[in-house]
Amino acid sequence: MDRRKNDHLRLVVDRSGASSRIEGLYLVTDEGPNIVERVRRAIPGGVAALQFRHKGSDRAEKSLLGGELRRLAADNDIPFIVNDDLPLALELDADGLHLGQSDGDPAEARQLLGPYRLLGISAHNLDEALAAQQAGADYIGFGAMFPTRSKEIEHLPGPTGLAEVRPHIQIPIVAIGGITRNNAHKVIDSGADSLAVISAVLESRDPFVAASELSLLFNRKDPFPRGSVMTVAGSDSGGGAGIQADLKTITLLGSYGSSVITALTAQNTRGVSAIQGVEPEFVTEQLAVVLSDIPVDVIKTGMLFSSRIIDAVATALESNRRPLLVLDPVMLAKGGTSLIDREAVNCLKHSLLPLAYLITPNIPEAERLSGITIVDEDGMQQAARAIHRLGSRNVLIKGGHLGDGNSVDILFDGSAFIRYPAQRVLTKNTHGTGCTMASAIASFLAQGEPLQVAVGRAKEFITNAIRLSQPLGKGHGPVNHFLAAKEIWGESAKSRGPEYNP
């Protein structure tokens, strides 16, 4: 299970003489405007170390800006490292210095920095990495991993080169160059202890979210149960959907699950007979108590029942934006009972949706949120764009309600559409599909999968859960979480080899 990122993914400068280690998200500054504010917004997302890189020649400006960033790093208890400027590092009392291959003598830098400040050295191949290690570096900056816009690339060892170097190096390796949310997992899997990024975070419209999704990828190195998911939803007394389905999914897929109950329902496979909402103050108390004690990587919301509860959840998340939010906008029960009124829908659109990392509406929910009638994939794409404009960073519209032979879900990340087709399973046992799908995505995100992979694995899981469903009750039976998870674990073992033992 993951720990809080600023406890777990932090470069700790130990001035008592013990060795220090670099791990996690390593943020390098750019030359753009408002850099201090953009860094300030990024740090709570899990930034583990901050490197100040400034190419300007104005010494006074560089010193002033470096001082502001130095104080910001100190206020957030993360180390501050100066790039290629030993005098500035000493002037600012930086926690460390990073040198390129031709940017200074490591022996001189170590002598002036002393034994307890960090020294990083860039390397592009095994010989340079070994030389840096021999010279007393505390970590190696290795790259480039991929082409990048920040500088012209002369050396591109990539993840393959990193994997070849890793067994020979005993100190941490910081991978750098062209790293994004969609390729960073490959770099971690190749042996990187840390990811150095610039534009992937600082050019994002929300540096906090960009940092969060990158820092979360390091959970893939943890043992199982891996990652922590909180579900905020209603209770289904029949056990097929809601909190019950969420916790089954989270646990069976290998994460730790906590919960906040928003409503109680009296229901079975034939429908909902009664709903009792929880007082918003008690929803707030549940959220506050859990988040104050238990690390949570991803929050998944389901049935929120009323505008007052939605407001309470939104307020709590705004004050504690640490976890990513997967928003399943539950509006109708399987039997057709409305689970949310018009006022609550408007509240969800204006208060909670802008906080969402991902929203997962089905066709009727997407129509209600977007105002667009959906009859085909073009309509799904139009609705996804409209919902994205409401504020959610990513939109996944599920196509199960369309009558095609394939059930196609479409993910929109603000720039591109990704299709997830699956053969439609003809069965009435589909109770809990939406809850299960969203919880599976949240679990895979918490385990360190990038969004596109998390959605793909969740799609496979829910398709299997529907296919393996068994009749239960006299109405719409639940999907089969147990056997679907068993298939997922079996495929994981095959792909990772016989040593895989979660």
Q: Assess whether 433 carries a catalytic annotation.
A: yes
Q: Per-residue pLDDT for 405 more than 80?
A: no
Partners of residue 120 on adjacent β-strands: 98, 139
pLDDT digits (tens, 9 = 90+) for 77-115: 999 999 999 999 999 999 999 999 887 899 999 999 999
State residue 430's pLDDT score: 87
Q: Residues 299, 302, 303, 304: what is their CA dihedral angle, to the nearest 10 degrees?
A: 30
**How do the domains of the chain map onto residue ranges?**
5-221, 228-496
pLDDT at 13: 42
Distance CA 379, CA 384 (A): 8
Tell which phi-psi region holds residue 54, choosing left (phi > 0), alpha (psi between -120 and 50) or beta. beta
The pLDDT of residue 156: 92
Both tokens of 42, joined, read: 């990024």
Mean pLDDT of 290-316: 94
Distance of CA 340 to the CA centre of its chain: 28
> What's the pLDDT at 171?
96
Q: Kindly report, residue by residue over 422-472, the tens digit of the pLDDT.
A: 988 888 888 989 999 999 999 999 999 999 999 999 999 999 999 999 889
Taking the alpha carbons at both ends of the chain, their separation in whole angstroms is 12
Q: Residue 430 catalytic? A: yes
What is the model's pTM?
Answer: 0.91
Per-residue pLDDT band for 19 (boundaries 50, 70, 90) equals very low
3-state secondary structure 371-428: CCCCCCHHHHHHHHHHHHHCCCCEEEEECCCCCCCEEEEEEECCCCEEEEEEECCCCC
Say yes or no to pLDDT of 6 above 50: no
| Angstrom distance (rounded) from CA 71 to CA 192 | 28
Q: Exactly one of 432, 448, 456, 477 is catalytic; name it.
A: 432
Annotation marks residue 29 as catalytic = no
Query: What six digits make up the tokens of 239?
Result: 């056990």
Domain 5-221 has CATH 3.40.50.1970: no
The pLDDT value recorded for residue 24 is: 97
The active-site residue out of 234, 239, 254, 434 is 434
Query: Higher confidence at residue 448 or residue 5?
Result: 448
**CATH architecture, range 228-496:** 3-Layer(aba) Sandwich (3.40)
Out of 433, 436, 456, 463, pick the active-site residue.
Answer: 433
Q: Is the pLDDT of residue 68 over 50?
A: yes
Residue 383 has pLDDT above 90, yes or no: yes
Q: pLDDT for 279-302, tens place per residue?
A: 999 999 999 999 999 999 999 999
Buried b (16+ CB within 10 A) or exposed e, 78-111: bbbbbbbbbebbbbbebbbbbbeeebeebeebbe
- Residue 216 carries which DSSP code? G
Question: Catalytic one among 177, 257, 399, 435?
Answer: 435
pLDDT single digits (tens) 227-281: 999 999 999 999 999 999 999 999 999 999 999 999 999 999 898 899 999 999 9
338: pLDDT confidence band, cut at 50, 70 and 90?
low
> What is the pLDDT, as a whole number, of residue 496?
55
Radius of gyration of the chain (CA): 24
Question: What string of DSSP letters covers 346-371?
Answer: HHIIIIIGGG-SEE--BHHHHHHHH-
Whole-angstrom CA distances from 20 to 17, 83, 85 are 9, 18, 21
Would you place residue 401 in the very low, low, confident or very high pLDDT band (cuts 50, 70, 90)? confident
* Tokens linked to 311: 């407001």
Q: Which is catalytic among the residues 148, 231, 301, 430?
A: 430
Long-range contacts of 286-290 (CB under 8 A, 24+ apart): 286/260, 286/261, 287/232, 287/260, 287/312, 287/313, 287/316, 288/316, 290/230, 290/258, 290/260
Respond yes or no: is residue 435 known to be catalytic.
Answer: yes
User: What was the pLDDT predicted at 334?
Assistant: 59
The number of angstroms, rounded, from the C-alpha of 184 to the middle of its chain's C-alpha atoms is: 12
Number of H-type helices and E-type strands within the chain: 19, 17
* Closest to 465 measured CA to CA, from 234, 240, 231: 240
Identity of the amino acid at 213: E
Task: Tell me the average pLDDT of the chain.
Answer: 90
Q: How confident is the model at residue 492 (pLDDT cuts 50, 70, 90)?
A: low
Chain position carrying tokens 């009972």? 337
pLDDT at 494: 61
pLDDT tens digits for range 133-172: 999 999 999 999 998 765 667 789 999 999 999 999 999 9
Residue with tokens 């997922």: 488
Give the pLDDT score at 322: 65
Q: Which of 398, 436, 448, 463 is catalytic?
A: 398
Q: Catalytic site residue 432?
A: yes
Torsion-angle region of residue 198: left (phi > 0), alpha (psi -120 to 50) or beta? alpha
